[in-house]
């Protein structure tokens, strides 16, 4: 070790900063839907292999989050919500974030392939590449439809869980994928409506910034309609039972009500954005409830 | 030792500790996966 004092900016990043790179809060929904895909599958895995599957989904999501933060450090620095992240705050150098993200990607894919099967590993690879290359690099800075197509990246976990357990992909995991895919636009646009100024400052073409608030509200409502249909299809086709049917029906009607309130509102976002916040937080609860009901239903029927 | 030096050592030590724990957990996981695959 040298005798000279080490400048503060050259300090090695703390392990907590590496953890923050993985976006742990976003990861919780990804892990939960992945676990539900695993539990809803008609085949079961030994506990340790099931645990490894969920771990690999979490590691893959963390890797994608780290690579996303590596690429977006410049715009993260411009937004209040993200300015405190390790890279824009100067607590970590970009190369460390890149190495961490790439390393974690390889680890998650290889471990999943060896522990379960290579179909699940291939879907995990696809989800990481989709989030990093299609959403982060290609779409996010170019089009207000960024989260519509990019939402597919977050829809892969239940398919990965199902594929890990069964070795194939059937209609139900595709419907679970479609549900998350169609849920993403109303969820994120509700958020974008009350943090609009932040996205505008960073020049990210989110729907409210580019097309205006009125169009965003209408789009929220329009995307809710196919999402509700998609939520009810597993029950309608007999792929899920009464528990799921009741939760999906009641939950979707409430979602539709909240979405209509936001979508049909003609005035600007009110002080505190009450309706938008309510839709945003309810949408998280809705997805948790539907996947929990589906997993419970399928496990009881097995 | 100046304050940044002390912080440098503290961070390196905590990172080394976390890495060691994760590596240990990884080796154990591989061991249990191997057993589960043999029995499955």
- Give residue-wise pLDDT tens across range A166-204: 999 999 999 999 999 999 999 999 988 887 667 778 888
- CA-nearest residue to A108 within chain B is B26
Q: What is the mean pLDDT of residues B27-36?
A: 96
Could you tell me if A43 lies within 8 Å of chain B, comparing CB atoms? Answer: no
Position B6 confidence tier, pLDDT thresholds 50, 70, 90: confident
Share of chain A above pLDDT 70, in %: 94
Summarize pLDDT for A110-154 with one digit per residue, the tens. 999 999 999 999 999 999 999 999 999 999 888 888 888 888 999
pLDDT-derived band at A27 (thresholds 50, 70, 90) equals: confident
The pLDDT tens digits of the residues spanning A202-232 come to 888 888 888 888 899 999 999 999 999 999 9
Please tell me the distance from the alpha carbon of residue A186 to that of residue A191, in angstroms, as a whole number: 9
> Residue A195: its pLDDT value, please?
77
Collapsed DSSP state (helix, strand, coil) of residue B1: coil
Q: Tell me the two tokens of residue A246.
A: 């009741």
Determine the pLDDT at residue A193: 86
Q: Is the separation of the CB atoms in A181 and A225 below 8 Å?
A: no
- Residue A26 pLDDT: 84
pLDDT value of residue A194: 82
Per-residue model confidence (pLDDT) at position A4: 47
Question: What global pTM score does this model have?
Answer: 0.91
Q: What pLDDT is stored for residue A260 in this prediction?
A: 95
- For residue B40, the chain A residues in CB contact (below 8 A) are 45-46, 49
> Rounded to the nearest 10 degrees, what angle do helices A274-301 and A171-194 cross at?
160
- The residue of chain A nearest to residue B28, with distances taken between CA atoms, is A48
**Does residue A88 register a pLDDT over 90?**
yes
Instruction: Answer whether residue B11 shows pLDDT above 90.
Output: no
Average pLDDT of the residues of chain A: 91
Quick one: pLDDT band at residue A3, thresholds 50, 70, 90?
very low
CB contact under 8 A, B8 and A46: no
Q: In percent, how much of chain A has pLDDT > 90?
A: 74
- Smallest CA–CA distance, residue A91 to chain B, in Å, is 12
Q: Is the pLDDT of residue A24 over 50?
A: yes
pLDDT band (50, 70, 90) for residue A66: very high
Q: Write out chain A in H/E/C secondary structure.
A: CCCCCCCHHHCCCCHHHHHHHCCHHHHHHHHHHHHHHHHHCCCCCCHHHHHHHHHHHHHHHHHHHHHHHHHCHHHHCCCCCCCCCCCCCCCCCHHHHHHHHHHHHHHHHHHHHHHCCHHHHHHHHHHHHHHHHHHHHHHCCCCCCHHHHHHHHHHCHHHHHHHHHHCCCCHHHHHHHHHHHHHHHHHHHHHHHHCHHHHHHHCCCCHHHHCCHHHHHHHHHHHHHHHHHHHHHHHHCCCCCHHHHHHHHHHHHHHHHHHHHHHCCCCCCCCCCHHHHHHHHHHHHHHHHHHHHHHHHHHHHC
In this complex, do A6 and B8 lie within 8 Å of one another by their Cβ atoms? Answer: yes
Note whether A7 contacts B: Cβ–Cβ < 8 A: yes
């Amino acid at each position: 070790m040298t005798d000279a004092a080490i400048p503060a900016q050259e300090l090695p990043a703390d392990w907590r900063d590496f953890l923050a790179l993985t976006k742990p809060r976003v990861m919780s929904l990804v892990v939960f839907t992945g676990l539900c895909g695993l539990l809803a599958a008609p085949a079961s895995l030994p506990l340790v292999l099931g645990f490894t599957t969920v771990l690999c989904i979490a590691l893959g999501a963390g890797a994608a989050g780290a690579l996303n933060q590596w690429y977006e450090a410049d715009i993260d620095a411009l937004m209040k919500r993200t300015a405190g992240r390790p890279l824009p705050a100067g607590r970590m150098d970009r190369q460390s974030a890149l190495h961490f993200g790439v390393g974690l990607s390889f680890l998650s894919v290889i471990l999943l392939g060896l522990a379960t099967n290579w179909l699940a590993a291939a879907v995990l690879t696809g989800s990481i590449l989709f989030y990093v290359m299609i959403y982060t690099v290609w779409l996010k800075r170019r089009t207000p439809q960024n989260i519509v197509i990019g939402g597919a990246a977050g829809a892969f976990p239940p398919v990965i869980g199902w594929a890990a357990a069964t070795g194939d992909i059937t209609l139900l995991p595709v419907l679970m994928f479609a549900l998350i895919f169609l849920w993403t636009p109303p969820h994120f646009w509700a958020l974008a409506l009350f943090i609009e100024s932040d996205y505008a400052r960073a020049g990210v073409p989110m729907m409210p910034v580019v097309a205006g608030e009125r169009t965003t509200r209408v789009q929220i409502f329009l995307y809710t309609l196919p999402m509700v249909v998609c939520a009810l299809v597993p029950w309608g086709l007999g792929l899920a039972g009464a528990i799921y049917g009741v939760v999906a029906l009641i939950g979707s009607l409430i979602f539709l009500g909240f979405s209509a309130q936001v979508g049909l509102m003609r005035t600007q976002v009110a002080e505190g954005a009450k309706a938008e916040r309510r839709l945003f937080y309810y949408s998280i609860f809705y997805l948790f409830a539907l996947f929990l009901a589906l997993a419970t239903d399928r496990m009881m029927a097995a | 030792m100046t304050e940044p030096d002390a912080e440098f050592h503290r961070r390196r030590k905590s990172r080394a500790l976390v890495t060691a724990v994760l590596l240990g957990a990884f080796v154990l996981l591989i061991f249990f996966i191997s057993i589960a695959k043999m029995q499955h």
